[in-house]
Structures are given as C-alpha cells and as structure tokens.
Amino acid sequence: MPVSERYRPDPRFAGLGGEFADPVAPADFPKTILRFRNDRAAATVGLEGLTDAEWIAHFARFQPLPGNQSQPLAMRYHGHQFRSYNPELGDGRGFLFSQQREAQTDRLLDLATKGSGQTPWSRHGDGRLTLKGGMREILAAGLLEALGVPTSRAFSLVETGEALTRGDEPSPTRSAVLTRLSHSHIRFGTFQRLAYFDRADLITQLVDHVVETYFPHLADAPDRPTAMFAEVVSRTARLVARWMAAGFVHGVLNTDNMVVTGESFDYGPWRFLPRNDPNFTAAYFDHSGLYSFGRQPEAGFWNLQQLAACLVLVSPDQSGLIAALNGFSDAYRAALSEAMIARLAVTSQGGEADIELVNAAFKALAEGTKLDGGEALRWEPFFFDWFGGEASEARALEGPRGKLYQDPVFAAFRARLAGFAPDRPERLENPVFGQCEPEELLIDEVEALWTPISEADDWAPLNAKLARIESARIAYNLYG
Ligand code: AMP
Ligand code: MG
C-alpha cells in the first residue's frame, strides 16, 4: 500500500503490557460497504492516499497498518455508570486498532473502533453497532468540531451487512463498523479499574505513560500524579465549557466515557439543544436528568473526583490533588467565558467585562426563549445571528429573528455587545453568513437524514449535510 511520508506509526499503548488490554480478533463481516471516509482527518495522519479497497482492508477487515499494532487491543477499564460502579466494563464492541503521529503537531493519535465484534468484555452484547448509530456519531462529531469542541473525529464508517436487534431502533436494523480518530482512549475508568484491584504499581505505570506520551511538559514535575491530574482538570473544564457554549448534551457522562486528554467521544444518545433549557436531557434512559444540559459541569466535576480518588493511591501528597480538584470551578468559569466570547466572535477584553457579556448573553437566551411561546428563539441561531457582535447587528435585525431582538429582554445584551470589537470580522464575508439559518442538528433533522438511507439507501442528504457542516466549520473558524 502507498504509505505517505506523513504516516508515522507509533504503537505506544501496546507497550504497557497485558494488564491494560487484551488482543482480540475483529468480526468477520458478511459485507463491507464503504459509507464514509474522512479524508481530511486521514490527511492529518498521512492515510488519505489509501484506495477504497485498502481503506476497507484496514477499517473493516482490520488488517494491521504497516509498522503499527500487530493485533487489535480491547482496552480494559471499569467505570461509574449513572453513579453506580461497574467492574464489568471494558471495550465490549471496540478496540484500539492503531496509533500514529499527527503529521503537523507530532501528537499521538489513536484509531479505535466501535462495532468491530465481540471481546472478552462484551458480556451479553453482540459487539456490534447499528448503521444509524454510526451515522449519528459522524454527525455529532462533525458539528462539534465545527463549533470548536475538542472531539474525536469520525474517520470511517463501513456497513457490514448484518441484521441487528435493538430496543431503541425499529428492528431488525442495519449494522456498521465505525473507526474514530482521537487523542487517547485512556479513560478515567482505566485508572478506576487499577484502583479497584489495588494496583498502585500499575497506576504509577499509567501515570508515567500519560505524562510522557501526552503531557511531556510535566515530565519533570516532582509529583507526577498531581501534575497530571491538574492537567486533566483543566482539560475537562474546557471540554465541558465548550459543550455548554455549543448547546450540546452528551447524554452519557459516565467515567468510562471521559478520557484524560479531554476530548469528548462515544456519541450515543446525544442531542443538541433546541433552545435554552438547563433541564434538557438527551438519553431516554436518564430518568432523573443526571446528565441534563445544565448538570454537565457537575458531572465533569464528579467524574474528576473519582479519578482523584484513584490517584490518592500513588500521590505523595493528597492536598495537591484536592487543590487541583478545587480548581475546577474557576477553570470552568474561565473556559466558559472564553468559549462564549469565541462563539460570539468578539475580541476578549479579559476579566470582568467578558464575564458580564457572557452573563448578559445567558440572560438574553433565558428570557428570549420565553417569548412567543418558546418557539421563536432557538439556541444555535442566537449565536449565528450575533456572530461578530455589533458588526452583525444589521444582519441580526433583518434576519428571521429581527423582530424578536427588538424586545426589551435583549436590550442589556445588545448594549454590552456594542462595547466589544468584532474578532476577525472578515469571517462575516463568508457566504455562510448570507444564509438565514445556521447548521443545526436537532433531532427531527437527524431522523430526516436517516429516513432516505433507511428507505432508499439514499446517502445524498447526509452527504449534503456533512458538506454544509464543513462549510460552517470553515466560516466560523472559531479558535483561529
Ligand atoms: P457505551 O454505552 O457504548 O459507552 O458502552 C458501555 C459498555 O457496554 C462498554 O463496556 C461497551 O463496550 C459495552 N457495550 C455496549 N453495547 C455493546 C454491544 N452491543 N456489545 C458488546 N458490548 C457492548
Ligand atoms: Mg462508552
């Protein structure tokens, strides 16, 4: 196969040894129909030159990539699910396939799967993923990336020709195997499993691996577990803040769904907010609203507490861990301010001024949502209309929500916004801002994208949507 110079395999995780993962074989699928390949993501690791046949050989048959892991590895982990500890988790329908360096940054990136077959950790599960589930993950990851959220990227989706039975989809339903590209799949739950077995030695080994592989600037820290933890706290705070500014509800914030490098991944029952609503819940099985929109910061903090409890076993000084944990709320508030300022595309003034603008924006969203029976102001259009602040005032007032913005509930927000200069206002020249409505992914649209695939194997609407999300990503260019 033609491997480019930019492809640099570096299978580090396998070097941790047999306590961390189990070699597994992929399922032998009856069919392999390529449905999605992310060549932009592939280019970041030098794999965009693969032919479709080679792509399928690697991302449906899982033939090893040259110089990479010789076998897929099902990772071992435990975790809290909805606050109950479950020692029977682990990669039950996925594995780590390969690791390679990102060409531009040199950072290590994982290619890992969902739906690639059974493993020792499948329990009673079939090890499979539904095609609809795969489609939903491609959409979520795509829009999150466009909105500046640190996220895994959907890399490949191959339909696999099996008929699956699921309680939450009309069954039988079609099967697929998804591959994602992300920085590390080392979960909070990876540490929890080691703590559960009282293996301080392995926790130390894993801390060293995480620091040396992902946080090399911390290599000389006198207390590596605490230094690593402080980094994870700050990355988690930033991740949660970016979800909040994106109006994203992950749905399943269990400790096995959070990784130490602070990207979100594993998009199951996710939803984007139709409109501002702290109680909005994504997963139909989340009866208490534990992971509702407004409770995501609390979920992030709670999960960090569980990680800290593992690191207590290996840190010489607990007070450092406690101090790092207590840094979460300040880190979250600062990250939320940064994320909201970025979404409004205005130039930060730092400190209090930013915070007051952010508070005014949230107040406008909350009050504005109550107008006109709650139908008028959706989450995403508010940010789209005011992108660039005052530089967008005419556009906002002439657009579909122009009349709404004349309401007094927006006065304080508009007055504050007027005091901020636009950030990179040339972005407003992008034709995306000539449209009346932004790209959203509300549940009705997601279902409407699935229907033609399900009924007529028509992928054109999905591909058109992905192209529009890509245009939005380029237009927003949120973090420069
Ligand atoms: P998730 O909800 O995808 O994060 O999965 C939670 C746990 O259940 C993980 O250990 C998964 O590997 C496992 N799991 C979920 N669905 C399946 C399935 N269909 N087959 C095997 N394991 C599964
Ligand atoms: Mg998971």
Are residues 414 and 438 both part of a single domain? yes
Q: Is residue 286 annotated as part of the catalytic site, yes or no? A: no
Of the listed 39, 52, 201, 256, which one is catalytic?
256
Binding residue numbers for Mg(2+)? 257, 266
Distance 287 CA to ligand 2 centre (A): 19
Beta carbons of 2 and 49 less than 8 angstroms apart: yes
Is 267 within the bounds of a domain? yes
Closest ligand 1 atom to residue 91 Cα is 12
Is 371 within the bounds of a domain? yes
Please report the DSSP string for 187-236 in residue order: BHHHHHHHHHTT-HHHHHHHHHHHHHHH-GGGTT-SSHHHHHHHHHHHHH
Beta carbons of 382 and 368 less than 8 angstroms apart: yes
Instruction: Report pLDDT for 480.
Output: 83
Ligand 1 atom 6: the closest Cα is on which residue?
89
**Alpha carbon 367 to chain centroid, angstroms:** 29
- Residue 119 belongs to what domain range? 13-185
Closest ligand 1 atom to residue 88 Cα is 10
Ligand 1 atom 7: the closest Cα is on which residue?
89
Are residues 112 and 214 both part of a single domain? no
Give residue ranges with CB within 6 A of ligand 1.
Answer: 89-93, 121-122, 125-128, 252, 257, 266, 268
- Sign for the CA dihedral angle at 379, 380, 381, 382 comes to positive
How many domains does the chain divide into? 3
Binding residue numbers for ATP? 90, 92-93, 114, 126-127, 180, 187, 266
Are residues 61 and 176 both part of a single domain? yes
Distance 81 CA to ligand 2 centre (A): 10
Are residues 42 and 60 both part of a single domain? yes
Last residue of a domain, one of 161, 185, 209: 185
Is 2 within the bounds of a domain? no
Closest ligand 1 atom to residue 118 Cα is 21
Are residues 398 and 329 both part of a single domain? no
Last residue of a domain, one of 135, 159, 185: 185
Is 7 within the bounds of a domain? no
Is 6 within the bounds of a domain? no
Distance 256 CA to ligand 2 centre (A): 6
Rounded to whole angstroms, how far apart are CA atoms 168 and 429? 43
Residues in the chain with pLDDT < 70? 1-2
Q: Which of 122, 152, 252, 258 to mutate to test the pocket of ligand 1 (most atoms within 8 A of CB)?
A: 122
Nearest to 250 by CA among 168, 144, 114: 144
Are residues 86 and 56 both part of a single domain? yes
Distance 328 CA to ligand 1 centre (A): 29
Is 43 within the bounds of a domain? yes
Is 233 within the bounds of a domain? yes
